[in-house]
Structure 1
Amino acid sequence: MHSHNYRTPEPLQDQVVVLIGSSASAVDISRDIATVAKEVHIAARSVEEDKLGKVPGHENMWLHSMIDSVHEDGTVVFQDGNAVGADFIIHCTGYKYDFPFLETNGEVTVDDNRVGPLYKHVFPPALAPWLSFVGLPWKVAPFSLFELQSKWIAGILSNRIALPSKEEMAKDVDAFYSSLEASGTPKRYTHNMGILQWDYNNWIADQCGVPSIEEWRRQMYIATSKNRVLRPESYRDEWDDDDLVLQAQQDFANYLT
């Protein structure tokens, strides 16, 4: 995988910044930059036409369709026809899976950001249980999901939990890939879970014999997603989830008794 180490250039007061991407990290970075830059322009792949234009709550931030072309003089032309002269372009486009250290003789490949074939995003059928992956799913609440994956792997390696046969795992993977294709889901979204993560978490929890994910965790995730749409300028600072916080505190108290 590769990621971007972000540091605000100094000074930015007279600079025009273009960000590519509109997910959570891009929202946070654009808000931060907008406090010091002259203009911030966000290029988003999936955005409704009526959302294009000035971002509510900001006088110097605009939302555009994806970039059509970039020119040597710094001009950035968007697919919506607008153009700006950019001083900086920041890629907030996510991650690419890459395992240059891993040699599997073709049993595991990365194809259009799909790591596979993997049973439940973890075990390659031909090499299970001796090779496993933790942390591939994205658009998830990561820590609880990755903890469950780790418990499942540990249970299998200690012979407390049994995997299906290699043939059964391969059939499950094929069925999963076929369902993605039938629904029109691009291959690069194979590990994109979103709301499906809760069923996935609870399936692994059942395999491990541990309690399912608490309902307040799921509701907090949904509330955060809605809050980011309703309050793009302050979604990390303003909340209406006191009841969920109270449920979480009550659950945490159980660990201390």
Structure 2
Amino acid sequence: MAAGDGEPDPAVQQRPQLQSKKVCVVGGGMAGLAAARELRREGHAVTVMEQSGDVGGQWLYDPTTTHGVVPSSAYACLRLRTPREAMSFSDFQFLPRDGPSRDPRRFPGHREVHFYLRDFCAAFGLMDAVRLNTRVVRVAPTSTTTRQRQWAVRSVRLLGGPDDDARVVFDAVVVATGQYSHPMLPSDIEGVGEWRRRQLHSHLYRTPEPFRGEAVVVVGCGDSGTDIALDLRRVAREVHLAASSEGATPAVSRMVANHGDVLRLHPRARRLHADGRVSFADGSSVVADTVIFCTGYGYSFPFLDTGGAVAVGDDGCVVGPLFEHVFPPSLAPSLSFVGVARKVLVPWFVEAQARWVAQACRGSTPTTTSAALT
């Protein structure tokens, strides 16, 4: 019997029933807040778990680096390198605002970005869904059955309290922990273990004052490397900027030339010596008090247990398999990632990802199957 003659249409029979889900978002930064907003718009019950004392993620500047976990990599001089117009969500513009602590510049500092994210959170009433000072320690499926899959989320309240160790079951989990919390050290520099003087990753850099009067080698000429080198030149005796294997860009060369009284540009750092010398690929060397590695970050999800369905590559730079950088094929749509793609305009990109996740959780848009990756 043909459809329309009393027999149900097969396409209608296979269409998923729209439903609201109980969803946990891990991370209260830009990606996590975008996910929370889109999930709520689709009618889901959302809980955002954030280990810091406020929303904002990497834009929540913390001047201290002495406690056990350092969630943010922001340093005091950090500013946007793209104009504020490009850092807006589609329906919440990043406009200059009046106030004694606001930064009206087109390329504002980290504090203004944090204010913007707090304003976004307030405008869409998201704070009641956010659990601050809450660290997620384990996320694992409660069952291997696809139809009944749920996720047990164990969290710890960092400040203690009646629910300082809780286990809650959710229908879906969105991982939105960002890209800048797992520092990567170079594997091609010899003698790192022999170096007896101070060395640190840019993740722990905040201000130049601790390096006053020192000779500092900054390894890496990316955004953080050039920012920190310029910051250090105000107080350091010498700042030696070591290029990556690709060499310095013309912009970096011009920057060094403009501050040649303190800044020096070198090729790739080759070895750290026990006597304090740092040698470079061209055979030259300098004696340094401190080495700062501005060598980037890798992915890390120590709380996530998927039984191998999602893994981080050995180099820390790839996580997968993820369809369109969002859904693990075997676990979609109950597990998703927002904000892992790099070199994108972050607000617009994570907003689009979050909208897809919210609709997929409700059953109103498809995700993928394993066959889509073959």
TM range (shorter): 0.5 to 0.7
Distance 1:18 1:53, change over 3 A: farther
1:57 corresponds in structure 2 to 258
Task: Write out aligned runs for 1:60-71 (5 A).
Answer: 60-71=262-273
Residue by residue over 1:41-77, the C-alpha shift from the partner in whole angstroms, topping out at 9 and shown as x without a partner, is: 1112121599879812102112222111101121000
Instruction: Name the stretch that deviates more: 20-29 or 158-167.
Output: 158-167
Residue 134 of structure 1 pairs with residue 338 of structure 2: yes
CA contact (8 A) 1:52 1:65 kept: no
Distance 1:129 1:89, change over 3 A: same
Q: Which amino acid aligns with 1:39?
A: E
Residue by residue over 1:224-251, the C-alpha shift from the partner in whole angstroms, topping out at 9 and shown as x without a partner, is: xxxxxxxxxxxxxxxxxxxxxxxxxxxx
Per the normalisation by structure 2, the TM-score is 0.42
CA contact (8 A) 1:54 1:63 kept: no
SS state of the match for residue 356, structure 2? helix
Residue 38 of structure 1 pairs with residue 237 of structure 2: yes
SS state of the match for residue 157, structure 1? helix
CA contact (8 A) 2:329 2:368 kept: no
Distance 1:151 1:49, change over 3 A: closer
Q: 1:2 aligns with which of 176, 182, 200?
A: 182
Task: Write out aligned runs for 1:195-214 (5 A).
Answer: none
1:89 corresponds in structure 2 to 291
Per the normalisation by structure 1, the TM-score is 0.61
Residue by residue over 1:130-178, the C-alpha shift from the partner in whole angstroms, topping out at 9 and shown as x without a partner, is: 111111122332222112211111121122221233311x22xxxxxxx
1:175 corresponds in structure 2 to none
1:15 corresponds in structure 2 to 214
Counterpart-to-counterpart distance in 2, 1:139 and 1:25: 15
CA contact (8 A) 1:16 1:86 kept: yes
2:312 corresponds in structure 1 to 110
Distance 1:54 1:62, change over 3 A: farther
Instruction: Name the stretch that deviates more: 33-42 or 12-21.
Output: 12-21
SS state of the match for residue 366, structure 2? coil
Counterpart-to-counterpart distance in 2, 1:53 and 1:151: 42
1:12 Cα offset (Å): 3.5
Q: 1:122 aligns with which of 326, 329, 333?
A: 326
For the pair shown, the structure with the greater C-alpha radius of gyration is 2
Q: Which structure has more helix as a fraction of its residues? A: 1
Counterpart-to-counterpart distance in 1, 2:318 and 2:206: 30
CA contact (8 A) 1:21 1:91 kept: yes
Residue 47 of structure 1 pairs with residue 251 of structure 2: no
Q: Which amino acid aligns with 1:81?
A: G
Query: Structure 1: where are the runs of 5+ without partners?
Result: 172-257
1:22 Cα offset (Å): 1.1
Counterpart-to-counterpart distance in 2, 1:165 and 1:9: 50
CA contact (8 A) 2:221 2:248 kept: no
Residue by residue over 1:180-237, the C-alpha shift from the partner in whole angstroms, topping out at 9 and shown as x without a partner, is: xxxxxxxxxxxxxxxxxxxxxxxxxxxxxxxxxxxxxxxxxxxxxxxxxxxxxxxxxx
Counterpart-to-counterpart distance in 1, 2:218 and 2:258: 18
Q: 1:74 aligns with which of 264, 273, 276?
A: 276
Distance 1:27 1:54, change over 3 A: closer
Distance 1:9 1:54, change over 3 A: closer
Counterpart-to-counterpart distance in 2, 1:67 and 1:127: 43
Q: Count residues in correspondence.
A: 170
Q: Which amino acid aligns with 2:233?
A: A
Q: Which amino acid aligns with 1:73?
A: D
Higher relative contact order (CA 8 A, sep 6+): 2
Q: 1:29 aligns with which of 209, 223, 228?
A: 228
1:16 Cα offset (Å): 0.6
The CA RMSD measured in Å over matched residues stands at 2.2
SS state of the match for residue 55, structure 1? helix
SS state of the match for residue 119, structure 1? coil
Q: Which amino acid aligns with 2:239?
A: V
